[in-house]
Structure 1
Amino acid sequence: MFRFISPPLPHLIYCGEDTYPASGRHSDRSGIGVFDLLIVTRGCLYMAEESVSLEIPAGSFALLRPDRAHRSAAPCREETHFYWVHFQTLGSWHETDQAPASAELRPDDVLYEIHRFAFYLPRSGKLSSPDAAYDWLRQLLALQADAGSSSQWRRQLVFQELLMRLQADATLPERDSYLTIAEEAAAFLRRHYRDAINYKSMSETLHFHANYVSLCMKRAFGCTPLQYLTRYRVELAKRLLIDTNEPVGRIAEETGFGTFSYFVRCFGRQVGTTPRSFRMRYRQG
């Protein structure tokens, strides 16, 4: 699984399609500097990325790293058609089957957690709606032939739709199900950030015991549900302190903190200063 921090979103560089005859092989390549997304429509590709073997049958895809060698592990056994998409990102990314380190969630940018997010793409998988994915790929090829700026803009948008479909359609490995639970819990907390935290309600909504939800969030985000909620509330408060003239006490209420003193204490622990000092620092001039 690949974890991408965005923005910036990954951007399409070039795409195409190939048909290999029976006994055909993919070229050997090393460190091409771009992600290589392979989507097979018929037949099967037998690939290897260094020591990792990848069998890609029709209706499936595989994502190859930009910094490793890849090659055919075996020739095609039948005529094989596939699309290839080269893309890259200017943001950070890494391959993972572990929880991201909690330090990654402590950025320096004042509004980082509001504007940035992580999304995951499986290394490989089977598409539940292959025809829809093929349609996006045909659109990409058609737009690629038009050098106009509007077509190039549309091309990047279609590429983002393709990535979203890969994420939505692909079946994640069972070991990564904790990510789904953690993200659903995080979404629940963001929806109810003004309410007093209620583990019972969260458990009933997610259909998992609160202790298990907490374990999933610790693994995915490096924090408990309460810590995540507090962090989210503080980030919302930071935006309101900068963008509005609301009194600090009112902001404490709007962001779900029960009391003014609790808000000041949580804010100071996370930001290292008081809400008023923070407002003065970022609204000078």
Structure 2
Amino acid sequence: MLRFVSPPMPHITLGGEDTYPVGGTHPNRSQIGVFDLLVVTRGGLFLEENGIAHDVPAGHYVILRPDMPHRTRMPCREETHFYWIHFHTVGSWSETEERQPLSAIDDGKPYSPIESFSFYLPAHGSWMSSPGVPELIRRLLPLQDEQSAVSRWKQQQLFHELLLQLQQEAEPPSDSPHYAVAEKAAAFLRDHYREEVGYRRLSEALHFHANYISICMKRTFGCTPLDYLTRHRVEQAKRLLIHTDGKIGGIAEETGFGSFPYFVRCFTRYAGMTPKAFRKQYRQTEPGAERMQTLPEI
């Protein structure tokens, strides 16, 4: 599974389609510098990436890494049609076997105006449950021959829609018990973060054992309910420290932290500095600047 931290979003650089006859082979390449997405609609490709075999029959796809050699493991056994898309990202990415904690997303800034997020793509899989994939590719390919900025913009939008279709293949199905429980738990924690929330209350609200809820959240979000709640509280505290004139002790209370020392410890762990230092760094204004208005409740 490939993990991309965005923004910036991955972007298409070039695409096309090809048909191999029986015995046809895909070019052997090494460290081409772009991801190579191959979407097979008929026949099948038999590839190898850095010693790992990838059989890609009709209705399936594979994403070959930009930093690994790949070659044909076996010639096509039947006429094979496929689309290919080269794409790249200037953001960070990695290969992982499981989802990583939300706290792993860190751009080195205690408060960033751009909220980063991770999305995951299976390195290979079926697109049969997303039958619109070939149509999206057929729509975006002609746009690369047009040189206008609008055409390139439209192409990138279609490519992002294509990634979304493939990304949904990586998501737990919406009817998955683990996914459903994790989403309900996350929504409850966001709605009640100002209040005292423990595992017992969470268990009573969702009618599941606390251990099971924790397992579901780890599988879906990569963190425990307590980690999720603390992170959310810290993010709300950051907003209040920057956009309001409230006292730090009052902000600690308003965001659900039971004590001021505990608030300082949690905030420092996640933000890399104390609340006081954080406010001082991000509330510096020019002489005569108007005072910031209190942020309305959301």
Normalising by the smaller structure, the TM-score range is: 0.7 to 0.9
| Residue pairs, 1:99-138, within 5 angstroms | 100=100, 104-105=104-105, 107-112=107-112, 115-138=115-138
Given the alignment of the two structures, is residue 79 of structure 1 paired with residue 72 of structure 2, yes or no?
no
Q: Which amino acid aligns with 2:118?
A: A
Q: Which amino acid aligns with 1:33?
A: G
Structure 1 residue 168 displacement after superposition = 0.8
- Cα pair distance change 1:101/1:202, threshold 3 Å: closer
TM-score, normalised to structure 1's length?
A: 0.83
Structure 1 residue 51 displacement after superposition = 1.1
User: Stretches of 4+ moved more than 6 A in 1?
Assistant: 204-208, 219-222
Q: Which has the larger radius of gyration?
A: 2
CA contact (8 A) 1:126 1:170 kept: no
Given the alignment of the two structures, is residue 150 of structure 1 paired with residue 150 of structure 2, yes or no?
yes
Q: How many residues were matched structurally? A: 282
Aligned position for 2:189: 189
Give me the whole-angstrom Cα distance separating, in 2, the residues matched to 1:72 and 1:141. 25
Q: Which amino acid aligns with 2:111?
A: L
Give me the whole-angstrom Cα distance separating, in 2, the residues matched to 1:178 and 1:124. 24
Aligned position for 2:22: 22
CA offsets, 1:194-245, max 9 Å, x none?
Answer: 4443545755888864324434655787753212211221122112322344
266-275 or 199-208, which deviates more: 199-208
208-217 or 57-66, which deviates more: 208-217
Give me the whole-angstrom Cα distance separating, in 1, the residues matched to 2:181 and 2:86. 30
Residue 90 of structure 2 aligns to a residue whose secondary structure is coil
RMSD, aligned α-carbons = 3.4
Q: Which amino acid aligns with 2:121?
A: L
CA offsets, 1:21-68, max 9 Å, x none?
Answer: 111111111110000000011111111112111111111110100011
Structure 1 residue 128 displacement after superposition = 3.3
CA contact (8 A) 1:100 1:220 kept: no
* Greater share of helix: 1
Structure 1 residue 266 displacement after superposition = 3.2
Aligned position for 2:296: none
Aligned position for 2:289: none
| Sequence identity percentage | 54
CA contact (8 A) 2:120 2:170 kept: no
Aligned position for 2:242: 242
CA contact (8 A) 1:181 1:213 kept: no
Residue 168 of structure 1 aligns to a residue whose secondary structure is helix
- Cα pair distance change 1:73/1:224, threshold 3 Å: same
Aligned position for 2:93: 93
Give me the whole-angstrom Cα distance separating, in 2, the residues matched to 1:44 and 1:150. 35
CA contact (8 A) 1:39 1:83 kept: yes
Residue 33 of structure 1 aligns to a residue whose secondary structure is coil
Give me the whole-angstrom Cα distance separating, in 2, the residues matched to 1:140 and 1:22. 28
- Cα pair distance change 1:192/1:101, threshold 3 Å: closer
